[in-house]
Structure 1
Amino acid sequence: MHRYWNDPEHAACPVIVSFLEAWCEAMPDEQSRHWLPPLRDVVRNTRASATVQSVRCIQAMDWLVREYAPLWLDVDGRPQLVAHARSLRALPALSTTDDPFDVWMRSNLGPIVAAAGVLPDAQFDRVSRVADSTLHAMAGEQASVLGVAASQVIKSTAEGDGAGRAAAVAIGTDAALAEAWETVMSDALSIATGSMHGRILLAVHEGLSPRIEALVVPALERAGVDFSQARSEAQFDKAWRKVRRIAERAVDGDGALYDQAWQMGWDAISGAIEEAQSRAFELLVRMAEQR
């Protein structure tokens, strides 16, 4: 589509232009046609003083922390992360003189990032190996592996991350502000990415575990897998590696699983992506109204 914001006669604010350019790059064509044309007149003649531009950068920073990151924490759904989402939303709006906001952010975002980065299941933990059925534990691990693979593909193409990164690009037009808030920006984006990953992983694991068990467990039984002879940690690890190879071959033999994993992962986050786009649109309107 025509990038009207780059036309000199449109006189759009550089902060808004940077946001729109990055956002447009992250969206597929059908999304661009939906969200961008209605902003044509909204952002016209928004070029303003350096002070107004800085305020617009602060609006984008505030949005990243108090809207975008909490949205994805809620999507993950784990109680601890939902509580973190509430704490971020409860913060007062960021302003140029709001030191308490700054202090809170720098001391509290780190733990939230760490919590969002924790996988929402224990399939990679050794505890899962000594469940009631080691064969079923291996099937569960393969479901998690499939979820991780789906997540990596989805995250690399999901326009959901585009809105947050567009806000970061807009903030970057103010070099001093971007430098001062670099860690906070990075943390807010990491929260979103970690929560997206967790939701995709959990959706795939829950949705495909029964089917993967139906493939993996019989294959392991046919191979005569027996962990009872493992007398040491080294012997157990050797047997586990053998079992993993058998399980991987069983999963790889069903090519449709990967397509299903992608679809399940996408379905789990598509609503949140739509919400993120809508909130980014509203942010741009607020930025344009700032005079």
Structure 2
Amino acid sequence: MTIPADLTLAKGGHDDPQDGLCLLEAVAYVAGLPHSDHPACTSIVLGTFGRSLNDVLPDDLRQELRPLIPQLIGTAGDGLDERRSLMALDWLIRTYLPAWLQLAHLDEQARAVRELAQIVDLETAQAAGPVVRAAREKSAAAWDAAGAAARDAAGAAAWDAAGVAAGAAAGAAAGDAAGDAARDAAGDAARDAAGDAAWDAAWAAAWAAAGDAAWDVLAPTVTELQRSAIDLYRRMATIGKDGQA
């Protein structure tokens, strides 16, 4: 299947291919399916993650998803969605969360989360729960320690940063579709706590930077996590293919 040389992935959904194509609409187009951002040929987990990731990435990084279009075709019902969900959960907890904790100078908590065993099943996910919740408590304490004015000043930058860094995209994929084990493993708890802790840590870092400098402090971490999320998505899309584990 050939990707048109002039195909440029665009943000958001589109009523017609002539108006533009997001990642999943491009999958439908290349596969010869009716125009949709929910192509029947694609794994539900990959679809959930891909739609969100497409929209949070800046235009230049979004184009790095183009080579994955053929890899997404034929993934529906391939029996790998539970594994993909656990990969997303592992990334959310062991990559996304500690990046923000480190930025907020919660070094001990960042190290503890990074040193967790890779989340590959219910047991390893449940074992991560107490460590993630401890990080949540520490990051929440930083939020509570500041006054309302300080929270308001830093909040917009932190919210934007946590959002575009793809954490919500990974969280949705971690709890989607056939990922029942991932949902149970997160207890809706480890996953949600990781997201909450990351937001609080991002806010703490923004507050420490203060004012207009907040985004400048957060931006390198955002870019790092966006690139990491693209790599995660690539691995999720290619497991079982070309020798990928």
Common fold by TM > 0.5: yes
Q: Which is richer in helix? A: 1
Conserved 8 A contact 1:74-1:85? yes
Contact 2:161-2:202 within 8 A present in 1 as well: no
- Map of 1:110 onto structure 2: 133
Q: CA RMSD in A?
A: 2.6
SS at match of 1:47: coil
Aligned-partner Cα distance in 1 for 2:49–2:153: 28
Per the normalisation by structure 2, the TM-score is: 0.74
Q: Is the 8 A contact 1:109 1:184 kept in 2?
A: yes
- Alignment of 1:55 with 2:59, yes or no, is no
The percentage of counterpart residues that share the same residue type is: 22
Which position in structure 2 is the counterpart of 1:273?
A: 222
The answer as to 2:46 corresponding to 1:43 is no
Figure out how many residues of one structure are paired with residues of the other and give that number: 207
CA deviation string 1:44-88 (max 9, x = no partner): 4433423x11111111111111111111111112xxx21211111
Deviation at residue 122 of structure 1 after TM alignment? 6.0
Q: Which runs of 5+ in 1 are unaligned?
A: 125-143, 205-260
One-letter amino acid of the counterpart of residue 155, structure 1: A
SS in 2 for 1:55: helix
Q: Residues 260-284 of structure 1, C-alpha deviation per residue, up to 9 Å, x if partnerless? A: x2x3110010000001101101101
How far the C-alpha of 1:201 sits from its partner, in A, is 0.3
- How far apart in 1 are the matches of 2:93 and 2:198? 10
- Larger deviation: 34-43 or 166-175? 34-43
Q: CA deviation at 1:190?
A: 0.9
Q: Is the deviation greater in 195-204 or in 36-45?
A: 36-45
Q: Name which of structure 1's ranges 174-183 and 163-172 shifts more when overlaid on structure 2.
A: 174-183
1:191 is paired with a residue of what secondary structure? helix
Scaled by the length of structure 1, the TM-score of the pair is: 0.63
Give runs of aligned pairs for residues 212-291 of structure 1, distance below 5 A.
261=211, 263-291=212-240
The Cα of 1:175 is off from its aligned counterpart by 5.7
Equivalent pair of 1:18/1:169 in contact (CA under 8 Å): yes
SS across alignment from 1:93: coil
Q: Distance in 1 between matches of 2:135 and 2:183?
A: 21
Residue correspondence of structure 1 range 33-112 to structure 2 within 5 A: 33-50=62-79, 52-77=80-105, 81-96=106-121, 99=123, 101-112=124-135
What residue in structure 2 maps to residue 197 of structure 1? Answer: 203
Please state whether the residue corresponding to 2:120 is helix, strand or coil.
coil
The change in CA–CA distance for 1:148 and 1:17 in structure 2 (over 3 A counts) is same
Gaps of 5+ in 2: 1-9, 11-20, 32-38, 241-245
Q: What amino acid maps onto 2:131 in structure 1?
A: N
Cα deviation for residue 159 of structure 1 reads 6.0
Deviations 1:13-68 (A, max 9, x none): 2211110112233345x356444334334434433423x11111111111111111
Identify which range, 9-18 or 110-119, moves more after superposition: 9-18
- Is residue 158 of structure 1 aligned with residue 158 of structure 2? no
How far off is 1:118 after superposition?
2.2
